[in-house]
Structure 1
């Protein structure tokens, strides 16, 4: 085994670029482990702990780029370095006619004096300075960076409010502004439904569903997840609502979030009392508030929110959806899948890349099962004692910090998720493995393609043991995304995965199968065997 480091002094690349490169290189033949990182103290610790950082490079700084690899030969490392250099060169030359390149924000402002929007992705300790610089120059900000303190977030948002600017983030991963998809977003129709969200994959799910239902998005404003916490007070959520209220292209407003703090929720409802546009709210698992205004629709799932928004935009009656497939079709699937299960197989194991989608799954399960465990639980007593070991019904958010510290997000690099998926599927008590497949900008170029070989491997092992599990998934995306939702579904179904139209429908089907039809009467009425 050979371990080698290549250090490029004073060479900076943003974390998203490096994560995407890291996800490509580890699959190269002969590479045992590899990463490309900036030499921050935290990253140095991660590389040291994994045996990738050599002692002679312990003094590298956060301004230095490090290529670190373990391989079975020196030649393999040379091949790896060439791939990385090619990818970095591609990034450096990835410009279009008329694009301007600048090394600093100040230079960019001078070269593009009319610019009014910037995306900032720098190490957290530098993020406030760069974001403040943009705001002081009357530029809207999407702050992708994390590790920004709450005090800094409040200071930045107060400055933005003072100047009438958007300050989306920190840790804001998704937005669609005037038709431009930013971060982890999707190719969707332009239209008259505007959204503001403190939930990244929640925003993706609703924008994609709205587009697939034939309507479109005017604006989709992200706020960063902490915005609706008590201490931040919904500063950007409230500003986003007001911006959509004044936007001439927006006719229906949708508000999406994991449960805000009670005080923030009250502010949100107070802010929409005087808006003369219909408003749809979806607080995943959050309680509703009594409100006299008839044009405020409070929904339970992301799919409900999308349906309600589309119905309002078309002036149609709003109907809640359980399944879009016929009752008989769902019944056939449940009967077929439950026949494969042994008496011991009774639990759902959700292995998610999207945090909002995993929360929605737990909220839907909560009405049917007593105990749900997670690394990001709905209730404190649902926290896994050991995150590496699932208990009963478990739903994992693989995009949480525990799993992504020093590693690419599972939407970019699925390797860790695949390992956990296999572990869950081979548990003798698992009946259903529940998955999300999130595609679009920034996501892996073929998520479904990465899942199928592992699912085939799992099924082969289960067959030897005389067992079977049901794989159920939904694909968050559109046919216009580079990965093409239709193609992803086709690959999954060929691999034996049951693909449902939404995360909510996938979770409901998982409940029906894992309960061996016992949940049917409560969910569907009657009996599954009628």
Structure 2
């Protein structure tokens, strides 16, 4: 067991997005084995216990106290990292305050800036309902980044918002672009004619990025939160979002992205779209629907959703950049041994994990997963892989007490090195998501571990989708080039990456 040091900053509340960024930087400091930078809520204390970072000082912290716990082998380096973390908290906060005005409450913010029309809530889940309701009472749209809000409270918020023709995005809404302003995790997407409503954050990022790369863009991307399409909630935000986009003059096409909701929600969505005088595309991943008309279509995959949306709105050809040649794919197939047959997928979120399973199922292949298409193939996220296995590394078991895998690659890198030791594995399939909120150089994280993996098994092929646009801060071209230089087969579409992985492994 390493040395642990704890610092509790009394009454220093910071939101979870802010703390995730600090946590990521601290864990990269010299001598740090692991770290927790979070508020002292009871839920977070449980996460600290699970991570082995719960200390006596942390136990005494209150929900408004900021707790920093750092573990490492060398005590002096741990203490140094603790000071570094403290400086980051105040330095980053100072920088943000210099570029934005701070207020003590939603009411005070609205009183000084009455033109505010949307409030982003990023508090511990137990406080999110209260703050969201305060915003709704002031007639403001709401995005709730926070998770762990009970379904019954989510429904109360959304029904109240519906009555006032307001949006409640979330809880657990990670992505939105409203009025050209990105919220949460988002890509820099050109303005264009497509309006998107989605209960799948990564799915929104995939489709909007593909539209951008093909030369189109969006009017808005409304993230509903994954629970919205459950029958308990009834798709309230999904339906409100469709109605808002239907009356938006610049929105020419409405696109809907989600894991399969119940048949009831699908039928209700279709009923609404039939009343809208605009083309619409529905991609309920894995749901096999028949087109309703020439202007209301079901898309089979995320790439299909982007393509059909593009074709409704543009006269030119839908064309994506080609980063990998057929020759490179053939060489990858030729390099495999006769015993290599299986795919191991390591994904930053559930949407691409789910889509990959669906694409595999169309070829008669069922994959094991912690987020399975077929519950007979369910395994735990930390269980050993068997045969074809795809893992959602954004699932709760991986993000307790640490940043999202779009930011922190530790579990993915550990898992990759484990997977290549299996001599029956043909392909390691993974995604990299660019944009604001994500790791600022994700390709370098994966290239580092791929080099190690090749020293263990030089026969395995690596296939990746890079989800992003040319205007994302990481630099799309730079990220792709790093991966290509490491011998990775790279695609702009998660759909195409899964199809190529199948072509190689099941040759």
Shift of 1:385: 6.0
Superposition RMSD on alpha carbons, in Å? 1.9
Residue by residue over 1:381-415, the C-alpha shift from the partner in whole angstroms, topping out at 9 and shown as x without a partner, is 11016742112111111001111122211001111
| Residue 346 (structure 1) aligned with residue 347 (structure 2) | no
Gaps of 5+ in 2: none
Shift of 1:289: 4.3
Q: What does residue 415 of structure 1 align with?
A: 410
Q: What does residue 161 of structure 1 align with?
A: 162
For 1:385 and 1:441, locate their aligned partners in 2 and report how far apart those are by CA, in whole Å: 30
For 2:419 and 2:161, locate their aligned partners in 1 and report how far apart those are by CA, in whole Å: 45
**Range 272-281 or range 51-60, more displaced:** 51-60
Other structure's SS at 2:130 match: helix
For 2:51 and 2:143, locate their aligned partners in 1 and report how far apart those are by CA, in whole Å: 33
Change (3 A) 1:449 1:290: closer
Other structure's SS at 2:407 match: coil
- Could you state the TM-score of these two structures normalised by the residue count of structure 2? 0.96
Shift of 1:189: 0.5
Residue by residue over 1:233-255, the C-alpha shift from the partner in whole angstroms, topping out at 9 and shown as x without a partner, is 11110110111000011011111
Gaps of 5+ in 1: 517-530
For 2:283 and 2:249, locate their aligned partners in 1 and report how far apart those are by CA, in whole Å: 23
Other structure's SS at 2:430 match: strand
Correspondences of 1:41-120 after superposition (within 5 Å) = 41-95=42-96, 99-120=100-121
Change (3 A) 1:59 1:240: same
For 2:50 and 2:345, locate their aligned partners in 1 and report how far apart those are by CA, in whole Å: 29
Correspondences of 1:261-300 after superposition (within 5 Å) = 261-289=262-290, 291=292, 293-300=293-300
Is contact 2:451-2:486 (8 Å) kept?
yes
Is contact 1:5-1:53 (8 Å) kept?
no
Is contact 1:25-1:34 (8 Å) kept?
yes
Is contact 1:20-1:413 (8 Å) kept?
no
For 1:515 and 1:216, locate their aligned partners in 2 and report how far apart those are by CA, in whole Å: 36
Change (3 A) 1:475 1:68: same
Is contact 1:371-1:392 (8 Å) kept?
no
Other structure's SS at 2:312 match: helix
Correspondences of 1:17-416 after superposition (within 5 Å) = 17-95=18-96, 99-289=100-290, 291=292, 293-315=293-315, 329-330=325-326, 332-384=327-379, 387-416=382-411
Q: What does residue 498 of structure 2 align with?
A: 507
Is contact 2:136-2:142 (8 Å) kept?
yes
For 1:221 and 1:52, locate their aligned partners in 2 and report how far apart those are by CA, in whole Å: 37
For 1:264 and 1:184, locate their aligned partners in 2 and report how far apart those are by CA, in whole Å: 26
Change (3 A) 1:485 1:290: closer
For 2:134 and 2:199, locate their aligned partners in 1 and report how far apart those are by CA, in whole Å: 24
Other structure's SS at 1:94 match: helix
Shift of 1:308: 1.2
Shift of 1:61: 1.9
Is contact 1:100-1:111 (8 Å) kept?
no
Shift of 1:336: 1.3
Query: Which of 423, 431, 437 pairs up with 1:442?
Result: 437
For 2:98 and 2:35, locate their aligned partners in 1 and report how far apart those are by CA, in whole Å: 34
Q: What does residue 486 of structure 2 align with?
A: 495
